[in-house]
A = this chain, B = another copy of it.
Amino acid sequence: MKNEHLSQSTIFPLGQKAEQYFVGDAYLQMVFTDPTPLNTAIGNVTFAPGARNHWHSHRAGQVLLVTGGEGWYQEEGKSARPLKTGDVVNIPANVKHWHGATRDSWFVHLALTPGQTDWLEPVSDDEYNKL
């Protein structure tokens, strides 16, 4: 597996295993939740190889800052976009999508989420294994 050093995350703490809304092993540590001066909370999300979140959408959008490893971002009806360290994704409001690790690499991103999230169905193995 690639980027094994990310199994303890990178830069920010690994945090707790995310039990809901993920397939595979993923971990979440909130790093910023103060009410000011930002309009957003910031979480550090670490995905083991093959792990991904369920399809979901954000009522006010979301920004991802990729801090390590290799992963995917896919909007419904579009090709999956490969992600690597240093990539930035601006996810529009109310667009159904998912993100996660590639099959053979750990993956870490900061998620800046200014509003609520609506969770949907898992990304099936069929869909994921096509990538």
Contacts and interface: CB of A to CB of B under 8 A. Distances in A.
Interface of A: 11-13, 31-32, 34, 36-40, 42, 58, 60-63, 65, 67-68, 85-86, 88, 90, 93, 110, 112, 114-115
Contact of A63 (B32, B62, B67, B86): B32
26 contacts: A11-B11, A11-B67, A11-B68, A11-B85, A11-B86, A12-B65, A12-B86, A13-B86, A31-B65, A32-B63, A32-B65, A32-B88, A34-B63, A34-B90, A36-B61, A37-B40, A37-B61, A37-B62, A37-B63, A37-B90, A37-B114, A38-B38, A38-B40, A38-B112, A38-B114, A42-B65
Contacts of A36: 61, 90
Contact of A38 (B13, B34, B39, B86): B39
Nearest to A85: B11
Contacts of A112: 38
Contact of A88 (B31, B63, B114): B31
A13 B84 CA distance: 13
Residue among A11, A62, A114 facing the most chain B CB atoms (10 A cut-off): A11
Given A39-B40, A40-B40, 18 more contacts: A11-B85, A11-B86, A12-B65, A13-B86, A32-B65, A32-B88, A32-B90, A34-B90, A37-B40, A37-B62, A37-B114, A38-B39, A38-B40, A38-B63, A39-B39, A39-B114, A42-B65, A65-B110
